[in-house]
Amino acid sequence: MKKIVISTGGGDAPGLNAVIYAVVMAAEAKGWEVYGSRGGYKGLTDLDELVRLLPESVAEITSQGGTILGSTNKGNPFAMSVQNLAGETEICDISDRIMANFNRLGFMCHIAVGGDGSLDIARRFYAEKGMPVIGVPKTIDNDLCATQLTFGFDTAVSTATEALDKLHSTAKSHDRVMVVEVMGREAGWIALNSGISGGADVILIPEIPFDLDNVCEKIADNDLHGKHYAIVVVAEGVKAKDSAVICRDSVSEAGRQEVMLGGVGEWVAGQIRERSGKDVRSLVLGHLQRGGSPTTFDRLLALRFGAAAVRLAEAGRFGHMVALVNGEMQDVTLEEATKERKVVTLDDDKVYTAREIGICLGDK
């Protein structure tokens, strides 16, 4: 009897449960046993966190947001922060312990569902420890280079677009500028896609450093043409020309300083208020973008990824990740998949579209 284990790592994204469903159903059909490791790799360190997944345990989870296995974006097993008896924080490598448990339990494959951080950990387990791993790409940010799309992105864009649609009426009623901060880290995909679809006047993305004069000029131009309100979409990782990223905080994680993005929307709103004299309000969509039921598109993509991951496991294509390439299910090495981030380029059709329909991107 073949046994596999699945884990979900990093920030959650709508569609994770659909992947779990597809993996369980496709593997069961082959007569394999499926186990879920809760909280990323916790199930491989503490066996109480390892659960047997049966078709009945995953019935009807496809449409649910979040992940029934739980997730974490802390705790890299190769550099885990732990408190010693003196209460001091130490960095420990627990990867060998995980590997020993994995082998002892007789797993023939680990299906690791995650974003760039979790996939890089999966890559290291494969390359350095010989774990037979299959990766499944997930992130609302859509910033993984080897796959055309990740599940969770379409849902996040739909949520942001719906929010923008709702803001138009209140902005218009009060002649206000509404500044909306959306997620995406160093990638502007959520901002660009939702901003274009949701009728934004200005979209600021990390890939295009902005000049506030251009933003205020666009707002003044709106006024000149009788439109006394404006919608400004700001990606959390943007920066003004000649300035650094504005972030909420930076936390120390396993000896590395991790930037916690957030807060730039409020800063942009303050600058616009000061310079334009307009009434300005700002809001942060935040984790709303990660919540809720996956759209049909994300569900289907996640189900396809899950089934394809089991196919790859059967074929023994370990060290690979399932990917959407030209609309088809393909696979790429984890090495390739984690090489770089996919960010918006200036020659992207959506950048042209935004400019051509009169949206200011902050650079002109």
What is the distance between the alpha carbons of residues 188 and 55, in angstroms, rounded to a whole number? 38
- Total count of residues recorded for the chain: 364
Q: Output the smallest distance, CB 260 to ligand F6P, in A.
A: 7
Who's near 253: CB < 8 A, 6+ residues apart?
Answer: 74, 81
Closer CB to ligand F6P, 123 or 218, in the complex: 123
> Do the Cβ atoms of 41 and 7 come closer than 8 Å?
yes
Provide the minimum distance between the beta carbon of 320 and ligand F6P in the complex, in angstroms, as a whole number: 22
| Residue of 57, 73, 197, 330 that binds ligand F6P (CB under 6 A) | 73
**Is position 247 an interface residue for ligand F6P (rule: CB under 6 A)?**
no
If one asks whether residue 261 binds ligand F6P (CB under 6 A), the answer comes out as yes
**C-beta of 162: minimal distance to ligand F6P in Å?**
18
Task: Work out the end-to-end distance of the chain between its first and last CA atoms, rounded to an integer number of angstroms.
Answer: 62
With binding defined as CB under 6 A, does residue 294 bind ligand F6P? no
Measuring CA to CA, how many Å separate 76 from each of 46, 50, 57, 131? 15, 18, 28, 16
Residue 110's DSSP bridge partners are 5, 133
Smaller CB distance to ligand F6P: residue 240 or 261?
Answer: 261
User: For residues 222-241, which are near ligand F6P according to CB under 6 A?
Assistant: 236
Nearer Cβ to ligand F6P (29/260): 260
What is the Cα–Cα distance from 362 to 241, expressed in whole angstroms? 10
Q: Which of 155, 184, 193, 166 is nearest to 297 (CA)?
A: 155
**CB of 53 closer than 8 Å to CB of 34:** yes
With CB under 6 A, what is the number of residues at the site for ligand F6P?
12
**115 makes contact with ligand F6P (CB under 6 A):** yes
Minimum gap (Å) between residue 329 Cβ and ligand F6P: 23
Q: Give the residue, chosen from 42, 185, 320, 342, that forms a contact with ligand F6P under the rule CB under 6 A.
A: 185
154 belongs to the catalytic site: no
Round to whole Å and give the CA distance between 34 and 307: 13
Q: How far is the CB of 12 from ligand F6P (least distance, A)?
A: 8
Interface with ligand F6P includes 39 (CB under 6 A)?
no
- 184 forms part of the interface with ligand F6P (CB under 6 A): yes
Radius of gyration for the chain, computed over Cα atoms and rounded to the nearest angstrom: 22
342 lines the binding site for ligand F6P (CB under 6 A) = no
Nearest distance in Å: CB 102, ligand F6P:
26
The tokens describing 58, both together, are: 């995953």
Cβ closest to ligand F6P, residue 6 vs residue 160:
160
Taking Cα atoms as reference points, which of 294, 65, 298, 289 lies closest to residue 182? 289
Q: Which of 278, 290, 299, 342 binds ligand F6P (CB under 6 A)?
A: 290
Nearest residue (CB) to ligand F6P, 5 versus 179: 179
The active-site residue, picked from 141, 154, 201, 331, is: 141
Please answer whether residues 141 and 189 qualify as being in contact, where contact means their C-beta atoms are separated by less than 8 angstroms: yes
CA proximity to 153, closest of 168, 165, 137, 134 = 137
Residue 139 interacts with ligand F6P (CB under 6 A): yes or no: yes
As measured in angstroms, the least distance from the Cβ of 219 to ligand F6P is 27
How far, in Å, are 4, 167, 292, 300 from residue 295 at the CA level? 28, 22, 9, 9
- Residue among 121 and 171 whose Cβ is closer to ligand F6P: 121
Q: Is 9 in the site for ligand F6P (CB under 6 A)?
A: no
| Active site residue ranges | 141
Binding site for ligand F6P (CB under 6 A): 11, 73, 115, 139-141, 183-185, 236, 261, 290
